[in-house]
Amino acid sequence: MKKFKFRITKTALSALLLIPFLFACQGDPKDSGTEMKNVRVVVGTGEFKPELQSDGKTWVFFLPLEFNQTDLLKTARVHFNLPKTATSIPGPGAVIDLNAPANFVVFAEDGSTFVYTIDRTNGSSNKAEIESFKLQIGSREIQGIIDGANSKISVHVFTTLLSKLDLVFPHFTASVGATVDSRSGRWQDFAHWSSANPIVCSYKVTSHDKTAERTWQVEIVEKEVLGDMLEYFETDADNSRTIFCEAVRRAGLENLIAEGDITCIVPNNNAWNTFLESSGVTSVDQLEPDALKSVLQYFIFAGDHRSRNLNSNNIQVTTLAGDPLWIRINAANQVIINDNVEELATPMVTAVEQDLWFENRVAAHVVSEFVVYKPIE
pLDDT at 6: 47
Mean pLDDT throughout 46-57? 88
Tell me what the mean pLDDT of segment 317-326 comes to. 96
Residue 16 confidence (pLDDT): 47
Bridge partners, 204 (sequence order): 215
Domains of the chain with bracketed CATH: 10-123 (2.60.40.2340), 130-223 (2.60.40.2340), 229-367 (2.30.180.10)
Residue 311, φ and ψ in degrees, nearest 5: -140, -170
369 pLDDT tier (thresholds 50, 70, 90): very high
pLDDT at position 7, please? 52
Share of residues in the chain with pLDDT > 90 (%): 69
Nearest-CA neighbor of 76 among 88, 65, 66, 68? Answer: 68
Whole-number average pLDDT of the chain: 89
On the question of pLDDT at 15 being above 50, the answer is: no
pLDDT value at residue 205? 96
Q: Which long-range contacts (CB under 8 A, 24 or more apart) does 142-145 make?
A: 144/172, 144/218
12 Cβ contact partners less than 8 Å away, ≥ 6 residues apart:
none
pLDDT at site 215: 97
Burial (0-12, 13-18, 19+ Cβ within 10 Å), 20: exposed
Task: Specify the higher pLDDT residue, 24 or 294.
Answer: 294
pLDDT for residue 10 is more than 50: no
**For residue 285, pLDDT beyond 70:** yes
pLDDT in tens, 224-253: 787 899 998 998 777 899 999 999 999 999
Q: Which of 147, 152, 192, 132 is nearest to 168 (CA)?
A: 192
The pLDDT confidence band at residue 13, using thresholds 50, 70 and 90, is: very low
pLDDT category, 30, cuts 50, 70, 90? Answer: low
Measured between alpha carbons, how far is 129 from 124 in angstroms, rounded to an integer?
14
Q: Beta strands 152-158 and 213-223: pairing type?
A: parallel
Interval 119-128 mean pLDDT: 84
pLDDT tens string 253-284: 999 999 999 999 999 999 999 999 999 999 99
pLDDT of residue 307 exceeding 70, the answer is yes
- Is residue 365 within 8 A of residue 349, CB to CB? The reply is no
Q: Which secondary-structure segment (H or E) carries 230?
A: helix 229-235
Residue 31 is predicted with a pLDDT of 65
pLDDT on residue 12:
47
C-alpha span between 98 and 79 (Å, rounded): 13
Over residues 294-308, the mean pLDDT reads 96
Residue 287 is predicted with a pLDDT of 95
DSSP three-state, residue 309: helix
pLDDT at 27: 58
154-187 residue pLDDT tens? 999 988 788 889 999 999 988 877 889 999 999 9
What is residue 241's predicted lDDT score, i.e. its pLDDT?
94
pLDDT tens across 100-115, in order? 999 999 999 888 899 9
CB 292 within 8 Å of CB 349: no
